[in-house]
């Protein structure tokens, strides 16, 4: 059988690696570091019981969120999952509003109604924080459909994990987006585990990009631990979506260094495996080494980056602590837009 129409030659070609430019490279490194430190502080605040509920950390996957976000404009929309802190920070949601949200405060990005899994910021077209695996995909299709019907050239970037691939909504959404040629950028963060189950025990066809191609959708595999590779692929895919509306699909190979959530004892994968990824494939260490080798990063750069981030996060935590909670009178506010009487 011949490959589906529209399948780009690019899918088998290694992504071009542009020459590193200092300012942008430092930006990428800073953003990844910011996410990692944010997540470490979130874990610490969870241990101090200031954050409750589920807390899913993005540590290890920073290159994906940071790389993709470089390809999006403020007009583009983002639909993310319950492991969305990295995307939210990279999109520009203030750390204080995220920390406050996890503290359950009124100043949180969702007024304390959502918590860690449900960050929203419509001013930045950040449509959540969806904690139903696969549940965000149809929403992304609809946002793209609205753009199409209103003649807007925008991209809807839809993040989901490898676990979502087993959901019916994944297939329904890819089919709809391809059938109607909608401007969706599907971003599969393949971290190899659907919670505690390896994709090899979950998917009869674990080459996820092949599934996208089966819907006639150009799809590409990307090293999700290489922020430059992610940015390059995301830019190319986003530009393609913008140029001639129609979905594109990236399968981003990554790995989470921490457990699925703070409640997960992480019994289902070997310590060796985790250590291997941490030692060999850490996206921040890899990029840092690359920048040092290219003489684009000094110890002072790194130290000042760390110091700035520490100040930002200290301030975010202090702000979250000091912030007011929503008054109990507002418990039933915003169930509906209009209130009768």
Partner 1 sequence: MSTVKLTYREAVRAAMRHALATDERVFLMGEDVGGYGGAFAVSLGLLDEFGPERVRNAPLSESGFVGAGIGAALGGMRPIVEVMTINFSLLALDQVVNNAATMRYMSGGQLSVPIIVRMATGGGRQMAAQHEHSLEVWYAHIPGIKALAPATVADARGMLIAALEEPDPVFIFEHALLYPMADEIDEEPQAVDIAHAAVRREGSDVTLVTYGGSLGKCLAAAATLEEEHGLAAEVVDLRTLRPLDTETILASLAKTHRMVIVDEGWKTGGLAGEISAQVMEQGFDLLDWPVQRVCGVEVPMPYAKHLEEAALPSAERVVAAVTEMAF
Interface ranges with partner 1 (CB under 8 A): 77, 108-114, 118, 120-122, 127-130, 132, 135, 137-147, 149-150, 156, 168-169, 172-173, 175-176, 179, 333-338, 340
Q: Which residues contact 245 (CB under 8 A, 6 or more apart)?
A: 144, 148, 153, 181, 182, 183
Is the CB of 259 or the CB of 320 nearer to partner 1?
Answer: 320
Return contacts of 68-71, CB within 8 angstroms, 24+ apart.
68/157, 68/159, 68/187, 68/230, 68/231, 68/234, 68/250, 68/252, 69/31, 70/28, 70/231, 70/234, 70/235, 71/231, 71/234, 71/235, 71/237, 71/238, 71/239
Is the CB of 8 or the CB of 142 nearer to partner 1?
Answer: 142
Residue 244 beta carbon to partner 1: minimum distance, rounded to whole angstroms:
17
CA distance 34 to 94: 11
Kindly tell me the sign of the dihedral angle through the C-alpha atoms of 28, 30, 31, 37.
positive
Is the separation of the CB atoms in 91 and 78 below 8 Å? yes
Is the separation of the CB atoms in 142 and 177 below 8 Å? no
Is the CB of 148 or the CB of 269 nearer to partner 1?
Answer: 148
The neighbouring-strand residues paired with 219 are 249
Is the CB of 25 or the CB of 130 nearer to partner 1?
Answer: 130
Is the CB of 114 or the CB of 163 nearer to partner 1?
Answer: 114
Q: Tokens 């830019």 identify what position? A: 235
Residue 112 beta carbon to partner 1: minimum distance, rounded to whole angstroms:
7
167-189: buried (b, 16+ CB within 10 Å) or exposed (e) per residue?
bebbbebbebbbeebbbbbbbbb
Residue 21 beta carbon to partner 1: minimum distance, rounded to whole angstroms:
35
Is the CB of 54 or the CB of 268 nearer to partner 1?
Answer: 54
Is the CB of 50 or the CB of 148 nearer to partner 1?
Answer: 148
Is the CB of 48 or the CB of 149 nearer to partner 1?
Answer: 149
Residue 241 beta carbon to partner 1: minimum distance, rounded to whole angstroms:
15
Residue 85 beta carbon to partner 1: minimum distance, rounded to whole angstroms:
16
108: region left, alpha or beta (phi > 0 left; psi from -120 to 50 alpha): beta
Residue 105 beta carbon to partner 1: minimum distance, rounded to whole angstroms:
11
Residue 101 beta carbon to partner 1: minimum distance, rounded to whole angstroms:
9
Q: How many CB atoms lie within 10 A of CB 219?
A: 26
Residue 276 beta carbon to partner 1: minimum distance, rounded to whole angstroms:
36
């Amino acid at each position: 059988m011949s490959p589906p129409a529209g399948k780009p030659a690019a899918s088998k070609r290694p992504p071009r690696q542009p020459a590193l430019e200092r300012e942008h490279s430092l930006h990428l490194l800073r953003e990844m570091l910011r996410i990692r430190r944010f997540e470490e502080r979130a874990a610490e605040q969870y241990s101090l019981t200031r954050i409750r509920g589920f807390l899913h950390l993005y540590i290890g996957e920073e290159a994906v969120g940071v790389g993709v976000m470089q390809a999006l404009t403020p007009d583009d929309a983002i639909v993310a999952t319950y492991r969305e802190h990295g995307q939210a920070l990279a999109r520009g949601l203030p750390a204080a509003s995220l920390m406050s949200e996890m503290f359950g405060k009124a100043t949180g990005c969702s007024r304390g109604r959502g918590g860690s899994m449900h960050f929203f910021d419509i001013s930045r077209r950040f449509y959540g924080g969806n904690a139903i695996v696969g549940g965000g995909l149809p929403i992304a299709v609809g946002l793209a459909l609205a753009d199409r019907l209103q003649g807007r050239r925008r991209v809807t970037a839809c993040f989901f994990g490898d676990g979502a691939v087993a959901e019916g909504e994944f297939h329904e959404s890819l089919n709809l987006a391809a059938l109607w040629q909608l401007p969706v950028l599907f971003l599969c963060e393949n971290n190899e585990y659907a919670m505690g189950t390896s994709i090899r025990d979950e998917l009869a066809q674990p080459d996820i990009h092949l599934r996208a191609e089966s819907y006639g959708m150009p799809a590409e595999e990307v090293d999700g631990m290489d922020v430059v590779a992610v940015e390059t692929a995301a830019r190319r895919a986003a530009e393609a979506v913008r140029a001639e509306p129609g979905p594109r699909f990236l399968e981003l190979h990554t790995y989470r260094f921490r457990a699925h959530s703070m409640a997960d004892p992480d019994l289902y994968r070997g310590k060796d495996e985790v250590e291997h990824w941490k030692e060999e494939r850490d996206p921040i260490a890899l990029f840092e080494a690359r920048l040092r080798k290219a003489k684009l990063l000094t110890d002072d750069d790194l130290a000042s980056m760390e110091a700035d981030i520490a100040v930002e996060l200290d301030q975010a935590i202090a702000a979250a602590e000091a912030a007011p909670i929503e008054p109990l009178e507002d418990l039933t506010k915003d169930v509906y837009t209009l209130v009768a009487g």
